[in-house]
Amino acid sequence: MKLETLLKNSLVTALNPSVLELENESHGHNVPKHSETHFRLVIVSEHFNELSRVKRHQLVYKAADDALKQGVHALAMQCFTESEWAESPARLTSPPCKGGMKKDPR
């Protein structure tokens, strides 16, 4: 099973999100073609109600444990409650990789 599929299925099962956007950003890093090592996640779930940002991230890491153990190197995430998402559905973009990016002009 592809890591992206494993990660997505694990998050859906554990957190029942109303919004789940998972983007493989591995192409922007110094990794082999078609890698699944770097992901960006936007997730909205009622499970995040009354939890701090740290506790929300801990829930995601727990749900993503199998995928993380199988080779996911980086998981950038934004975790929202339903009401936060309704107020401001902001999505951040990941900064460019500075650790040996293939497109580095040096």
Is the residue at 93 inside a domain?
Answer: no
Is the residue at 94 inside a domain?
Answer: no
Is the residue at 74 inside a domain?
Answer: yes
Residue pLDDT, tens place only, 47-81: 999 999 999 999 999 999 988 888 777 788 999 99
Where in the sequence is the domain holding 59, given as residue range(s)?
Answer: 3-87
Is the residue at 21 inside a domain?
Answer: yes
Give the whole-number percent of the chain exceeding pLDDT 90.
47
Neighbours of 99 (CB within 10 A): 7
Q: How confident is the model at residue 100 (pLDDT cuts 50, 70, 90)?
A: low
User: Out of 8-12, 14-18, 101-105, which region has the weakest mean confidence (pLDDT)?
Assistant: 101-105
Is the residue at 55 inside a domain?
Answer: yes
Number of domains in the chain: 1
Instruction: Round the average pLDDT of the chain to a whole number and report it.
Output: 82
Is the residue at 9 inside a domain?
Answer: yes
Pair 18, 44: CB distance under 8 Å: yes
Is the residue at 92 inside a domain?
Answer: no
| CATH number of the domain enclosing 41 | 3.30.300.90
